Amino acid sequence: MESLKYSMFGFSRKYKIRDAEPPADVKEAFTKYSESESGNGSSQMSADQLLRFLIEFQKEEGYTISDAEKIVQRHRVTKPTGHGLCLEDFFHDLFFDDLNGPIKSQVHHDMTAPLQHYFIYTGHNSYLTGNQLSSDASDLPIIKALQNGVRVIELDLWPNSEKDDIHVLHGRTLTAPVTLIKCLRSIKEYAFVKSPYPVIVTLEDHLTVDLQAKVAEMVIETFGELLYYPASGCLEEFPSPEALKHRIILSTKPPKEYLESEGPTEKDSSTEAALGKESPDLAADLDPDDRDDTDQDDEGSDGCEQKSCQLGARQYKHLIAIRAGKPKNGLKEALRAGIEKIKRLSLSETALEKAAESYGTDLVRFTQKNFLRVYPKGTRVTSSNFNPLTAWMHGAQMVAFNLQGYGKSLCLMHGMFRSNGECGYVKKPDFLMMNGPNNEVFNPKTALPVKKTLKVRVYMGYGWHLDFSLTHFDSYSPPDFYTKVYIVGVPADEAKKKTKVIDDDWTPVWDEEFIFPLTVPELALLRIEVREHDRSEKDDFGGQTCLPVSELRPGIRAIPLYEKNGEKLKSSKLLMQFQFV
């Protein structure tokens, strides 16, 4: 038992950090599963008994006697005379989140459906290091995002001052630029360090036609065979994340210059040959409308520069696998039309809220085949974010978030994409992709019955004295911790609870249970936050996490806690139990 000494006005008081005591439920489980055949309790749990506990109590799947034996064997190294786990060992292992975490750590969703069937981890202005007005642009935030599993990177493209190169920056602000080529090279290097599934690069294009041609050259030269583009322009069905492993996809509006051109021009054989060299099937796979009908050599002819630009625009257009567009005849018409070929539509959070209120089922139907990207409103200059649940309820695949800051909304985003082994792709619930007998789709406004009830018991916490200084929470005494538990989801499921405050204890024990009835558990998130009660000022932050309810593993689990920015605390954890009834 460790002692800590606090001083106040010349007087000293000693507080002891008591050893973590197993909760009553843990003791009861150990006693039950360590019983001998005669019915007498044993002081140790064998590998066979541990396996029975894991299957029956923890509802684990796939565990074998060999797995249980490895857990027991680890303790035999330090206790060679023991033949199994004692209560202390058993309790210690329950607190080990790598072994006993709250959700699965492997990819386990079906990854063979079309890309539109997934929520995709998406960044907004991915190159910014801080706020939206004056922070520097850099490839470092892009690298960090990819290392954290983000699968959609946004780049804003602008001409440099000489109009001969491309800068990435937040236009018409004070943000300092970074070159496009640096961003592209970093994307290539870090795209698949966290996840093998495809990276989508969305381009906000403010370029001239000749610079668009330069982008095409850079992209082909940098990504090479990693780049995916359809052989025949727009697709009627998009490939799956599984089929697109280790591929990079471009998404932007097709070049206006190409779309407005009056017809084919004479062939530029040298440029087309270069295309074939950099990407062997690109020239061969050009749309029939993109190919030129004559073999005439343009060298030395009038208008050569214009023709080269037009060819460059075609090349750039051909590389765009997910084509973006703006609604021309109003949003409602755009949602109902254009279902024949896949496209991407982008809406601000404000526009989404209005659309959801007026024609939510049209949004759901649109996202069954097309991509919907939702981005923060322009007034979020501090890189804050919005609640993503409305977008997810309506099937939006790309909820673009400012990843430079922190806040409750970003915590929810982290929680959603802890799903499915943190690979950056989360399979949408089936009800968002299904049509009823009369072709009706899911209506987020419809009141639904309770489908599942989640019981959450908060036992205790441990580890803050290892992560924080003695006086971090209180200058003169140990902290007064309490835990807040929230359900975030469809409006009917929203709820919040909190434990009592435990005074002056670095190892708080609450042992409180909360019950949450859920109508749409597939979209529910469990947000957990530990606070330190302060009577004179705002309560201090002691760690948080967010977990997808659909992925929760039943049983007694160790819950790691995170900083506000999403960085994992080294030692601070909660011990909790989850049950579905």
Q: Indicate which residues carry an active-site annotation.
A: 124, 170
Radius of gyration of the chain (CA): 28
Q: Residue written as tokens 């909660």?
A: 574
Nearest alpha carbon to residue 377 among 404, 346, 356 = 346
The span from the CA of 61 to the CA of 118, in Å, is 25
Tokens standing for 421? 């082994």
Nearest alpha carbon to residue 91 among 19, 38, 145, 4 = 19
User: How many Cα atoms are found within 13 Å in the side-chain-facing hemisphere of 46?
Assistant: 8
Please count the other Cβ atoms lying within 10 Å of the Cβ belonging to residue 181: 18
The span from the CA of 469 to the CA of 450, in Å, is 45
Using CA of residue 397, residue 401, residue 406, residue 408, what is the dihedral sign? negative
User: How many Cα atoms are found within 13 Å in the side-chain-facing hemisphere of 420?
Assistant: 20
Residue type, 375: Y
Distance of CA 416 to the CA centre of its chain: 6
Nearest alpha carbon to residue 196 among 251, 140, 250, 244 = 244
- Write down the H helix ranges in 405-524: 408-416, 430-433, 464-467
Strands 525-532 and 509-518: unpaired
Tokens standing for 500? 């009592």
Whole-angstrom CA distances from 316 to 214, 283, 438 are: 9, 12, 42
Note whether 342 and 236 are within 8 A (CB).
yes
DSSP 128: B
Note whether 245 and 184 are within 8 A (CB).
no
The span from the CA of 137 to the CA of 130, in Å, is 9
Measure the CA dihedral 526/529/530/532, to 10°: -150
Note whether 154 and 202 are within 8 A (CB).
yes
3-state secondary structure of 95: coil
Note whether 151 and 197 are within 8 A (CB).
yes
Distance of CA 169 to the CA centre of its chain: 24
Nearest alpha carbon to residue 142 among 192, 208, 91, 190 = 190
The span from the CA of 428 to the CA of 423, in Å, is 14
The span from the CA of 349 to the CA of 373, in Å, is 10
